[in-house]
């Protein structure tokens, strides 16, 4: 095994550990469209879901079958009929849907049953259990159009699904529901997944989609300066929906976003739009800081706040690599616990990604900004700026006239933000006594 691999794998594995801990015993509802299966993505999706489940996540998988039903209809000489983006399911279309669902269920169960040596599924035991967990009602007649056997979710059997999840199984749902009289209704994958996520009070609703996500400027073409917005506050998502045409096709901006907004409003903490074209998209979205698609949340997950005693471990984990390479002076746990009130942190989704401390010297009218650290995962995204502004704000509240830093490697970052270099003799007497002349740190000061 190469040394390069060791030095990339170990830090990466450590960086995903907080997410592994966070999501253990949480419930994810995953919606996979028939287009993803038709594109040959099922084997890799099954491997990724098996891996996610092996890390303690409870998974409900809802599959779609739009292209498969259309293919069955074409074989029988019929074309698909839609009105306002909803399939009109006549008797023939219902037969085709049942055939497609049976075939896809077989393929999905087979994908989760693979266990060849030297494959990601080796040693995996994934029990896939389906059932009549959805009670449905007919769409009925709207605008004079009879949707026939197309239906809507009336009720989700939450106790039944929860008991199945408690057994350690993966729950597989087809987009079908049944009335109390036993009549079958064709449902949409998106509605089933959303309804199930809301009913279960799921922690995440994830859609694997044909689109990469929602762009920063959703009504403009994709470009380098119009990337995917990885974190979309609910209020902004609602506004985008209001400004968008009705989502009739899976590639329309509003198509998946409307379901994410509905779930988020109903209490699902996070809803995701993830591109199935990217291999490992679910793993990248769930276990990497910025993810790969768009996450709709009720509020910004990133929080700039003062640290508490509960943050000591996260701060230690953040600064340890910088202490090892000499960027920061080493601090032990006792010292950080003692000084925790001096620290400000940037936390994202329960993980600390940046920190800084302010040590005041009121007799000299100044304060030291120390232990300034931004995780390599988020460098260049403005977290350092946020910390600096908060430290300046805290210093002004204390009545200080300036702040200073001691640095050996990041002087240019501070110089660009209004700091000027001074001689170490400028330091307050109490700080000058602790100055390490062998380290030869530059002293930079900023007037407030």
Q: Parse the chain into domains and list their residue ranges.
A: 17-299, 303-447
Helix axis angle for 42-54 and 91-112, nearest 10°, is: 60
- Counting as low any pLDDT under 70, the low residues of the chain are 1-6, 116-119, 299-302
Burial class (CB in 10 A: 0-12, 13-18, 19+), 179: middle
pLDDT of residue 18: 84
Look over the chain and give the mean of its residue pLDDT values, rounded to a whole number.
Answer: 91
Query: Quick one: CA torsion of 217, 218, 221, 222, rounded to 10 degrees?
Result: 80
H/E stretch holding 185: strand 184-186
- Token code pair at residue 440: 């030869």
Of 142, 210, 154, the closest CA to residue 178 belongs to 154
H/E stretch holding 44: helix 42-54
- Token code pair at residue 192: 């089933």
pLDDT of residue 11: 81
Strand ranges of the sheet holding 343-348, from the earlier edge strand across to the other edge: 302-306, 343-348, 351-361, 366-374, 402-407, 442-447, 420-422
Of 376, 315, 316, the closest CA to residue 344 belongs to 315
pLDDT of residue 3: 65
The helix/strand/coil state of 113 is coil
In angstroms, what CA-CA distances link 302 with 233, 354, 378?
A: 11, 11, 12
In angstroms, what CA-CA distances link 401 with 303, 310, 429?
A: 27, 31, 17
pLDDT of residue 329: 84
Mark out the alpha helices in 137-252 (DSSP H runs). Answer: 158-166, 189-200, 234-243
pLDDT of residue 436: 86
pLDDT of residue 383: 87
Q: For the domain with range 303-447, which CATH number is right: 3.30.420.10, 3.40.630.30, 3.40.640.10, 3.90.650.10?
A: 3.40.630.30
**What's the rounded Cα separation, in Å, for the pair 122 and 157?**
33
pLDDT of residue 173: 97
Q: What pTM value is reported for the model?
A: 0.72
pLDDT of residue 377: 82
pLDDT of residue 116: 60
The fold for domain 17-299 equals Carbamate kinase (3.40.1160)
**What's the rounded Cα separation, in Å, for the pair 63 and 190?**
9
Helices and strands, counts by H and E, the chain? 15, 23
């Amino acid at each position: 095994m190469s040394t390069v691999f060791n030095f990339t794998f170990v830090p990466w594995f450590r960086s995903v550990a907080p997410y592994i801990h966070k999501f253990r015993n949480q419930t994810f509802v995953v919606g996979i469209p028939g287009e993803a299966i038709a594109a040959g993505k099922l084997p890799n999706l099954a491997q990724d879901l098996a891996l996610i489940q092996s890390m303690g996540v409870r998974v409900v998988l809802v599959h779609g079958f739009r292209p498969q039903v259309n293919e069955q209809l074409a074989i029988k000489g019929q074309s698909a009929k839609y009105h306002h983006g909803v399939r009109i399911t006549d008797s023939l279309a219902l037969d085709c849907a049942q055939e497609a669902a049976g075939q896809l269920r077989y393929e999905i169960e087979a994908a989760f049953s693979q266990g060849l040596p030297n494959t990601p599924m080796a040693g995996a035991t994934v029990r896939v259990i389906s059932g009549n967990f959805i009670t449905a009602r007919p769409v009925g007649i709207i605008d004079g159009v009879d949707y026939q056997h197309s239906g809507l979710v009336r009720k989700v059997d939450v106790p039944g699904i929860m008991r199945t999840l408690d057994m350690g199984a993966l729950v597989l749902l087809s987009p079908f529901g049944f009335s109390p009289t036993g009549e079958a209704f064709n449902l949409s994958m998106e509605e089933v997944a959303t309804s199930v996520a809301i009913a279960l009070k799921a922690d995440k609703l994830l859609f694997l989609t044909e689109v990469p996500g929602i762009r920063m400027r959703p009504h403009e073409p994709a470009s380098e300066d119009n990337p995917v917005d990885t974190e979309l506050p609910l209020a902004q998502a609602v506004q985008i929906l209001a400004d968008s045409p009705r989502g009739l096709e899976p590639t329309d901006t509003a198509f998946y976003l409307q379901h994410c907004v509905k779930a988020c409003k109903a209490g699902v903490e996070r809803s995701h739009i993830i591109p199935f074209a990217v291999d490992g998209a679910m793993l990248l979205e769930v276990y990497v800081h910025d993810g790969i698609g768009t996450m709709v949340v009720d509020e910004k997950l990133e929080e700039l706040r003062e640290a508490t005693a509960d943050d000591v471990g996260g701060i230690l984990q953040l600064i340890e690599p910088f202490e090892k390479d000499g960027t920061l002076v080493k601090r032990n746990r006792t010292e950080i616990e003692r000084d925790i009130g001096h620290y400000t942190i940037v936390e994202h989704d329960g993980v600390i990604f940046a920190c800084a401390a302010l040590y005041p010297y009121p007799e000299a009218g100044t304060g030291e900004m120390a232990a300034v650290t931004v995780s390599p995962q988020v460098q260049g995204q403005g977290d350092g700026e946020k910390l600096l502004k908060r430290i300046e704000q805290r210093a002004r509240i204390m009545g200080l006239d300036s702040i200073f830093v001691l640095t050996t490697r990041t002087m240019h970052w501070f110089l660009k933000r209004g700091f000027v270099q001074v001689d170490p003799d400028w330091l307050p007497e109490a700080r000058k006594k602790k100055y390490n002349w062998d380290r030869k740190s530059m002293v930079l000061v900023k007037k407030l």
